[in-house]
Amino acid sequence: MNAIITASQLASESAGDRPPVLLDVRYQMGGPHGRAAYEAGHIPGAVFVDLEAELAGPPGPGGRHPLPDVEAFGAVMRRAGVSQDRPVVVYDGGQGWAAARAWWMLRWTGHPDVRVLDGGLAAWTGPVESEVPAPAAGDFTPVPGAVPLLDADGAAELARTGLLLDARAAERYRGEVEPIDPVAGHIPGAVSAPTMDNVGPDGRLLPASQLAARFKALGAADAPAVGVYCGSGVSAAQEVLALEVAGIPAALYAGSWSEWCADTSRPVATGPDPL
């Protein structure tokens, strides 16, 4: 199953006999809450999902966006109308990070058919509405473990034995700046792979062949396993999505740098990429 869907494909499927459940996950770190933009206009039938309140747990030692309680996540999905046997499409404002987090959460908890709208709402040319829908409750019951998840020890091991990609901006990887977390640098052995390089000027993911070439150049073709982290496990989900489109399975380190650097006993590397 493809991990992404185009706006034209979504329009066609939404008009069909088995329309997907739509989740609007607009989120901007440090920006206004996405709910206001959702209420101003969203794809017809879409239900708003709050990334910080519903796709993440409270910040703490596990990072700025740790995984939420699984049962609470399942209740949110059921209220949004998500069922096990009905396809789901998630979108955000166009950056792709928040939508990918919802995609990954549903994949990790066992939903078999979930896709991200490529390019987000910005790519949508159909109608929008301000009416907030009240969908019938779904029956989705999350069962974690359907796709791989890394903890801090697993990320450290993968950096030594496989390929651990750092999806943050290159200057954050090198430790030159750190605008969010208390420590600058990266996990020793990780390779810089900014998530912004996965998309073209139109905000859509690069073609699968170009993504495959990018990740091959970073060492994915020869690695026994691939993992990804970022600052708090959100933008890294977009890189996992891009890897999926490229045909490369990858694990997410959900705690990411914000969890890693919270423990002062963990090593920190700075400087250029080891490649």
CA distances from 90 to 104, 114, 271 (A): 10, 8, 36
For residue 254, give every residue at least 6 positions away whose Cβ sits within 8 Å of its Cβ, in sequence order, or none: 63, 65, 66, 67, 149, 150, 233
For residue 265, give every residue at least 6 positions away whose Cβ sits within 8 Å of its Cβ, in sequence order, or none: none
Catalytic residue flag (residue 230): yes
The tokens of 72 are what?
A: 């609470």
Tokens 């209740």 label which residue? Answer: 75
Single out the residue of 251, 239, 170 nearest to residue 205, CA to CA: 239
**Which residue in 46, 106, 184, 230 is the catalytic one?**
230
Alpha-carbon span 212 to 203, nearest angstrom: 18
For residue 87, give every residue at least 6 positions away whose Cβ sits within 8 Å of its Cβ, in sequence order, or none: 13, 18, 20, 21, 113, 114, 115
CB 43 within 8 A of CB 121: yes
Alpha carbons within 13 angstroms on the beta-carbon side of residue 97 total: 20
Alpha-carbon span 166 to 228, nearest angstrom: 6
For residue 73, give every residue at least 6 positions away whose Cβ sits within 8 Å of its Cβ, in sequence order, or none: 54, 55, 105, 109, 142
Alpha-carbon span 100 to 27, nearest angstrom: 12
Task: Report the Cα 39 to chain-centroid distance in Å.
Answer: 23
The set of catalytic residues is 230
